[in-house]
Amino acid sequence: MKAAFIEEHGNLKQLKIGQLPTPKLKSNEVLIETKFSALNHIDIFIIKGWPGLSLPLPHVIGSDGSGIIKEIGTEVTQLNVGDKVTVNPGLSCGKCIFCLSGKQNFCKEFSILGEHQWGTFAEYFKVPEINAIKIPDNYQLDDAAAVPLTFLTAWRMLTTQAELKEEEFIFIHGAGGGVSSATIQIAKYLGANVITSTSTKEKMKKALELGADYVVNYVEDPEYNKYIYTEITKKQGVDVIIDSVGKATFHSSLRLLKPGGRLVIPGATTGPISEIDLRQIFWKQVKIIGSTMSNQKEFQEVMNLIFLGKLKPIIDRIFPLENIIEAEQYLSEHEQFGKVILKI
């Protein structure tokens, strides 16, 4: 099969297009003929590699993908050859106490498709049957590839982890990313007052179109926290903050929280190490909550809303598989608003 893969870790130039053997199925797995894949920041982390990561090479990246089932394992019962599907990229063992109690993303073997198992930037990829979900006939395969990782991440953050309520103020850092644009939509769907930040006038306009109530420009107004506190929340502070920026904003996020507020951390793109003024935590009785991916139930919940048209993926651009390096470059320069897609 044709695939985009790495033969050694390094920069984007390590990505090659070539022929690799089609994955062989285990009894509980399905083989999918890929139609569309979506890029995620994790692609670049995997290409770079990290201490302790030892992947058998060559390795195919790609965590989101949609397509048509080509082959099914002997124990597959719910899906058939020819079904149009998209997948939950969170893979787990299926046997441990966490998996059996529906907490798949707590599994010791939890990993993301394309991380330890070959991913979706190829003509074929495989997943356990439980990870694949049928797409309604009227739903587009490109949209279906754009949805899973970002929407399931955003759904878990706002529902299970932050317990966001109607009328609450939420501040989402950086509107342009795939997870952020999903988070804005879900927060609005849940009835919150949505504040977000971005860097250009054009992205500000798009964030408003997505449903944000207030957009601040962190380039033009470095004092945006003051504005949010004073003008938007009338000196009350924010109930929920989603901060994946990390080191650069962690402290100011803590300060901006209302007493009893929740700070959700799904990542740390500017660096993972930060000092904390512990007084900000106990005096204001705030909660700092981590969040990663989702469990199977949360995936089903958010996909139902997607298929009903209540939430819509935003596709920024579609590249052919052959232009994978250009596409990853585009994503890493944060030029996009929404998802960057590959047509396989």
Q: How far is the CB of 125 from Zn ion (least distance, A)?
A: 21
Q: Which of 46, 61, 85, 107 binds Zn ion (CB under 5 A)?
A: 107
> What phi and psi values does residue 227 have, to the nearest 5 degrees?
-60, -45
Which residue in 12, 55, 93, 325 binds Zn ion (CB under 5 A)? 93
Tell the residue number behind the tokens 């030029």, with chain if given: 335
Q: Is 96 in the site for Zn ion (CB under 5 A)?
A: yes
92 binds Zn ion (CB under 5 A): yes
Least spacing, CB of residue 96 vs Zn ion, in Å: 3
Q: How far is the CB of 87 from Zn ion (least distance, A)?
A: 18
Query: Among 89-97, 159-167, 311-319, 324-332, which window interacts with Zn ion (CB under 5 A)?
Result: 89-97
Q: By CB under 5 A, tell whether 111 contacts Zn ion.
A: no
What are the two backbone dihedrals, phi and then psi, of residue 170, each rounded to the nearest 5 degrees? -125, 140
* Number of alpha helices (DSSP H) and beta strands (DSSP E) in the chain: 11, 18
Smallest distance, Å, CB 273 to Zn ion? 30
Q: What are phi and psi of 328, to 5 degrees?
A: -65, -35
Helix axes 324-332, 41-48, angle to 10 degrees: 110
Non-local CB neighbours of 180 within 8 Å, separated by 6+ positions: 172, 173, 174, 196, 242, 244
The residue of the chain with the least Cβ separation from Zn ion equals 107
Closest CB to Zn ion among 11 and 27? 27
CA R_g for the chain: 20
As a whole number of angstroms, the distance between CA 111 and CA 306 comes to 24
Residues 20-24: contacts with CB within 8 Å, 24+ apart?
20/58, 20/60, 20/122, 22/123, 22/124, 23/118, 23/124, 23/125, 23/126
Phi first, then psi, for residue 150 (nearest 5°) are: -70, -45
Binding window for Zn ion (CB under 5 A); candidates: 74-82, 102-110, 115-123, 128-136: 102-110
Of 107 and 342, which has the nearer Cβ to Zn ion? 107
Nearer to Zn ion, 99 or 172 (CB): 99
Tokens 């804005």 appear where?
A: 184
Nearer to Zn ion by Cβ, of 96 and 305: the residue is 96
Residues 185/313, Cβ–Cβ less than 8 Å? no
Question: Residue 99, interface with Zn ion (CB under 5 A)?
Answer: yes
Number of residues counted as binding Zn ion (CB under 5 A) = 5
Nearest distance in Å: CB 102, Zn ion = 11
CB of 186 to Zn ion, least distance (A): 27
Contact range with Zn ion by CB under 5 A, out of 40-48, 88-96, 285-293, 330-338: 88-96
**What end-to-end distance do the CA atoms of the chain give, in Å?**
11
Binding string, residues 68-87; x marks residues near Zn ion by CB under 5 A: --------------------
Minimum CB distance to Zn ion, residue 13 (Å): 36
Contacting residues toward Zn ion, per CB under 5 A: 92-93, 96, 99, 107
